[in-house]
A and B are shown apart, each in its own frame.
Chain A
Amino acid sequence: MDFFLSRYRNITVLLVVIVAQLLLIAYQVKSNKDIPLMRVWAVTAVTPVEQVLEVVRSHTWGFVEDYFVLLGVKGENDKLKHENGQLKLENQYLKSELNTADRAQALSVFQAHSQSKTVAARIIGNGTGATSKVVFVDRGSASGVESGMAVVTPDGIVGKVVDAYPTASLVMLITDPTFAAGVVSQKNHVRGTLKGQGHGECLVDYVQNEERVDPGEMFFTSGDDRIFPRGFPVGQVSAVRNGKTFKEIYIAPSGMQGGPEEVLIVLEGVHQEIPEGEMASPGYKILQPPAGTEASGGDASSGTLVTDADRLKDQYKQAGQAQNHVFGEGVPGSKPPDFTKIPGIRAAAPDGVLSASPRPAASAAANAPPPQAPASPNAGNANSTANKSESPKNLSPTADAPKPKPRPTAPILVTDPTDADPDSAPAAPPGPSNNAKPPPAPALPPKPAASRPQTQTNP
């Protein structure tokens, strides 16, 4: 036995150890139980070291990681800056391409819809000269371009061809000081001559001061110069004022906005109609006064619409108030107010018949002489109407009249129930005494219809 153990000691130990472990496994599997003691030992031996390693790692690896991260940050930052710059350049290029595509599309649409025969061209360079506004386009006589042809865009005219070369043409822009073209305004059809000023705006010359041009009004080519066909937009009035002889009208060229790059050269121009815009004179249409405003109490200076009937009503009202008379009260046959003290009647009545009385402010304003240049058409209309209605020449009888009407010694008043004071009670029904003894009435000026405001046609 001893010999056997000494000779096969190693294998015996191995078998013992293996069998022991097999039994251990068999026990665990069969009893479904663990051997907690060995696990506790192992875990207790390993996990503290693991915790220390984790603490050390968490406190050191963060620094190391941050260090290596920061090492790469600078290079990454430079790389991102470079990439950002490239993206900006690319973005700018793409935007430029997109704008070019949009302009080309607009040009193509305009070219298809325009009646004039045109050829598209691209501005390829500027001309020399400090004040000259000329550019080169990439279309020349080989494309049928000749001197004197108009150059336009869908937004407006750009210039005219001054020289045509085989492969390129020289175009004088409308901002050139020597440029001129015939133009006409959209609303008032005022004709003038467009002149370049050497800067962004152009001047429309030879427009009389009496002509009416409003700021914001569009000007179109008139076709008079035989270069630009009629009906092409030129620009919008940015400023207008009276000059010594002619108006100074400055317009912002609509075709030069943003700097044109693609243009159309009009090979064969066809005159077009000028688009209808807002009428300069609105005709006979006058809007009703805003709700809540009193037409009777307003005057021209306050901005409220005032008709002659309103003024007359106001005069009667003031005369009644001056005599402590309340319209709508009193029995038939009572003493009416003395309407001979109305200023308008005094002006119309012969001297000595009417007593002098102070004029109301509204009447004084209405009788004021008209200004040299009316500020607005409505104000001019009101003044002209007031002058017409109160002119003694129109109202007083003249000796040269063939059959002068016998004027009453006292003014004859023809009252209208609707002219009564709205604040007072309704007027008493007219009795027979009224017919027997009519109140004196003034000789009224030509009274316009109350429902038809004064209008004036466009000069």
Chain B
Amino acid sequence: MTEYSERLLDKPVRQESAGTMRIAWLIIIPLIAVLSQVYVPRFVSFLSYLELPLLITVHFALNRRSPIAAVFYGMSIGLVQDSLSHQPIGMFGIVKTLVGYFAASVSLRFDVENPVVTFILSFFFYFFHQFFYWVLSRALLGEAVNFDVQQTLIFGLLNAAVALPLFRILDKLKVAA
């Protein structure tokens, strides 16, 4: 085991550099993300597959490195999404709660500032989000929803591609705050 790998696994290297965002930004940014998901697809239907609230949750969890905060943050964003949908409240909440928890747990062990790691994590969590939502829909609501793996992979790549510049912008906001 090398020295770098030991540092990567044993010590959270970004703990001291992790900045904090103001509470206002923590509220406004998820709202903008939810709003964009609701409003923008009216004009560009293709962007309905862009899961900005998920990316915001992942960014918060990776940036905060606090599983509990990420759980509540993901749960809040998910519940707002549920409130604006036609489904029972809690579906997105559970999924984003899990995403926030696992993203925060991963950020405690890995250097997530690497763009490649960010891309992979974003892709993975998008796939996980969609898959787990599909599982919950079938298990809890009994909906016969098809899960298109190929389409999910493609949109996962697109979301991961969007996550790279988005995380840069959010990091800028964190520094500015």
Contact = CB atoms under 8 A, between A and B. Distances in A.
A45 to B, nearest CB: 7
Interface string A81-104: 000000000000000000000000
Interface stretch (A11-19, A329-337, A338-346, A450-458): A11-19
Interface string A111-128: 000000000000000000
A46 B84 contact: yes
A288 interface: no
A35 B89 contact: yes
A46 B88 CA distance: 18
Q: Which of B34, B72, B93, B141 has the most CB of A within 10 A?
A: B93
Nearest to A19: B94
B38 interface: yes
Interface residues of B, number: 27
B39 interface: yes
A42 B38 CA distance: 12
A14 B71 CA distance: 6
A17 B83 contact: no
Given A17-B75, A39-B83, A42-B84, A28 B90 contact: yes
Contacts of B72: 17
Contacts of B91: 25
A22 B72 CA distance: 15
B38 A18 contact: no
Contacts of A13: 67-68, 71
A21 B75 contact: yes
B101 A14 contact: yes
A389 to B, nearest CB: 105
Given A42-B80, A49-B31, A21 B97 contact: yes
Contact of A18 (B83, B84, B97): B97
Interface in B80-111: 80, 82-84, 88-91, 93-94, 97-98, 101, 105
A24 interface: yes
Interface in A18-55: 18, 21-22, 24-26, 28-29, 34-35, 38-39, 41-43, 45-46, 49-50, 53-54
Interface in B28-72: 31, 34-35, 38-39, 67-68, 71-72
A17 B71 contact: yes
Given A22-B94, A50-B39, A10 B68 contact: yes
Interface residues of A, number: 26
A50 B38 contact: yes
Contacts of A9: 68
A245 to B, nearest CB: 93
B35 A21 contact: no
A29 B140 CA distance: 9
B39 A25 contact: no
B163 interface: no
Interface string A38-82: 110111011001100110000000000000000000000000000
B83 A25 contact: no
B89 A24 contact: yes
A46 B91 CA distance: 19
A422 to B, nearest CB: 97
A9 B79 CA distance: 23
A455 to B, nearest CB: 94
Nearest to A35: B89
Given A38-B89, A50-B39, A29 B31 contact: no
B6 to A, nearest CB: 23
Contacts of A54: 39
B164 to A, nearest CB: 26
Contacts of A42: 79-80, 83-84
Nearest to B40: A53
A14 B67 contact: yes
Contacts of A10: 67-68, 71, 101, 105
Nearest to B72: A17
A9 B31 CA distance: 29
B90 A41 contact: no
Contacts of B89: 24-25, 28, 34-35, 38-39
19 contacts: A13-B67, A13-B71, A14-B97, A17-B75, A21-B75, A21-B90, A24-B93, A26-B140, A28-B89, A29-B88, A38-B82, A38-B83, A39-B84, A42-B84, A43-B84, A45-B31, A46-B34, A46-B35, A50-B38
Given A10-B105, A14-B101, A28-B89, 9 more contacts: A17-B97, A25-B140, A28-B88, A29-B141, A34-B88, A39-B84, A45-B31, A46-B31, A46-B35
- The list of the 10 closest CB pairs from A to B, nearest first, reads A42-B83, A21-B90, A28-B88, A10-B67, A25-B90, A24-B90, A39-B83, A21-B94, A21-B93, A14-B101
Interface of A: 9-10, 13-14, 17-18, 21-22, 24-26, 28-29, 34-35, 38-39, 41-43, 45-46, 49-50, 53-54
